[in-house]
A and B are shown apart, each in its own frame.
Chain A
Amino acid sequence: MGTRDCQHQIAMSSPAAGEAGATGDWRTERPVLDPALCLAQKQEKEACQLCWVYCPDLCIARGVPPAVLLTYCKGCGICAEVCPTDAIAMVPERESAAAAAGGAR
């Protein structure tokens, strides 16, 4: 979050991630990527990357395989829907939290 600076004559915002807070809180299901099924992983190069292209919230980092940034992921499930090999599954948040047992949220 930015801080208020009363020296400016007009109200001006500064860019920052998490303008609406950690929007990962909104999520009821989390995307879990199975690298064995991922096309990029199979071809061992930055191929496909459709999940990165279509994520409206910039929560997927390009890569082999792409990585999900769970702090801000709203859990919309678009990545799972556009994945050509169904490598991404939407797992209910409660189950995945139990599985991770205190892992990265």
Chain B
Amino acid sequence: MTRLVDLPTQEHMLPGNRACAGCSLGIGLRSILKALDGKAVMTVPASCLTVIGGMYPTSSVTVPWLNVAFPGCAAAAAGLAAGLRATGRDREMTVLAMAGDGGTADIGIQALSGAAERNDDFIYVCYDNEAYMNTGTQRSGLTPAGARTTTTMLGKRENPKDMCRIMEAHGIPYVASTSAVFPDDVYDKLARARTLRGLRYVHMNTPCPSGWSFEPRDSVTVGQLAVDTGLVVLFEVEGGVFRLTGRSKTLAKRGKRPPVADYLATQGRFKGMSPEAATEIQRWVDGRWAEYLRRDAAGATT
């Protein structure tokens, strides 16, 4: 595992972009592009990420970047991958499709599912800030239960989709879950994914100060608490073998996690939530965590 201090010093992003202060997407994208050594071509649909991409005629990233229609992120990436293969340049650079949670789990899921079925050769990163943040915090299929958004004023009633399980069900070579505020974990997973072929899916939790209502300075601590409480789990599934990584692996060994209520209390979007609803989320998290532990133990024996 790469140590934080040993992350490459070469940056592929530039300061002075349009992202909100404290946006953890910047931390995540830095690691992703470092892991790909800047040899990537990106496709990006409408999302917060286009804000970092910037407005014509300037851009805040130093890799080629294609802005595409909302549902077509994976389709455009499949086309780019085919183009690179046809011109014999597919070993030179990686195609990186990167979309938000709405662009992945709701609007973009058909193109992504099609690409997964064909096992097209690119990396798909879903950065999950748990709502349509770029348009002003509307609920998405990945918004957690209890979270208030501008379209769920009293808190969302449904649990989010499990995107990683959906992608696993397609039988693709690599599926991973990570968090933008663990740059070492993001780096390792993308570096691993880069060496594989076919569709590789990485799900990256991305704390959002403005949408989740917390102070910009707390982006990293909130994201770390999400992992500590077990709401976000760091794992990878390669060739069907499940493995917990980084902080989640440590937590599994320790066998104790802080209560989810600690995490809920850090954010304005969960304010006014009933204790019963919080208990329900705790139960949901515990159930999932037990399943992850079981799969990790099963993976260790294979």
A46 touches B5 (CB 8 A): yes
- Report B-chain residues with C-beta under 8 Å of the C-beta of A57: 15-17, 19, 21, 26
Residue with the highest number of chain B CB atoms closer than 10 Å, among A13, A21, A47 = A13
Does residue B272 face the partner (Cβ distance < 8 Å to A)?
Answer: no
- Judge whether B59 and A59 touch: CB under 8 Å: no
Chain B window 4-40, contacts with chain A (Cβ cutoff 8 Å), 1 for yes, 0 for no: 1101010101111111111111110010000000000
Instruction: Please tell me if the beta carbons of A11 and B56 are within 8 angstroms of each other in the complex.
Output: yes
Query: For the complex, what is the distance from the CA of A15 to the CA of B27, rounded to whole Å?
Result: 19
A56 touches B217 (CB 8 A): no
* Nearest residue, chain B, Cβ from A24: B16
Cβ contact of B15, chosen from A18, A46, A81, cutoff 8 A: A18
Q: Between A and B, how many residue pairs show CB distances below 8 Å? A: 130
Q: Do A81 and B220 have beta carbons less than 8 Å apart?
A: yes
Chain B interface, number of residues (Cβ within 8 angstroms)? 42
Q: Which of B17, B216, B218 has the most CB of A within 10 A?
A: B17
For residue A37, CB closer than 8 A to chain B, the reply is no
Check B22–A56 contact: CB distance below 8 A.
yes
* B57:A54 contact, CB within 8 angstroms: no
Across-interface contacts of B58 in A (CB, < 8 A): 1-2, 13-16, 19
Report which of A2, A46, A50, A75 forms a contact with B57, defined as CB distance below 8 A: A2
Q: Number of A interface residues, CB 8 Å?
A: 45
> Do A76 and B15 have beta carbons less than 8 Å apart?
no
Q: Is A96 an interface residue (CB 8 A)?
A: no
Q: State whether A54 touches B59 (Cβ < 8 A).
A: no
Given the interface pairs A48-B5, A53-B4, the reply to whether A58 lies near B30 with Cβ below 8 Å is yes
Chain A residue at minimal CB-CB distance from B13 = A58
Which of B14, B21, B181 sits near A54, CB closer than 8 Å?
B181
Are B26 and A56 in contact (CB-based, < 8 A)? yes
B55 within 8 A of A: yes
Kindly list chain B residues whose C-beta atoms are within 8 Å of the C-beta of A46. Answer: 5
A6 CB, min distance to chain B CBs, angstroms:
11
**Residue pair B16, A71 in contact (C-beta under 8 Å):** yes
Bound Cα distance from A37 to B289, whole angstroms: 39
Q: Which of A50, A75, A81 has the most CB of B within 10 A?
A: A81
In the bound complex, residues from chain B placing their C-beta under 8 Å from that of A4 are: 57
Among A17, A26, A53, max chain B CB count under 10 A is at: A53
Instruction: Enumerate chain A residues within 8 angstroms of B219, measured Cβ to Cβ.
Output: 56, 76, 78
User: What are the residues of chain A within 8 A of B26 when measuring CB–CB?
Assistant: 55-58
Whether A91 is near chain B, meaning CB under 8 Å from some CB there, is no
Instruction: Assess whether A101 is interfacial by the CB under 8 Å rule.
Output: no
Once A56-B26, A62-B9, A76-B21 are accepted as A-B contacts, the answer to whether A16 and B59 lie under 8 Å apart by CB is: yes
A-B contact pairs, 5 of them (CB 8 A): A13-B59, A15-B61, A17-B60, A56-B26, A58-B30
Interface residues of B (CB under 8 A from A): 4-5, 7, 9, 11, 13-27, 30, 53-62, 65, 181, 183, 209, 215-221
Closest 9 CB pairs of A and B: A56-B26, A77-B217, A76-B22, A18-B16, A74-B21, A72-B15, A19-B54, A13-B59, A76-B21
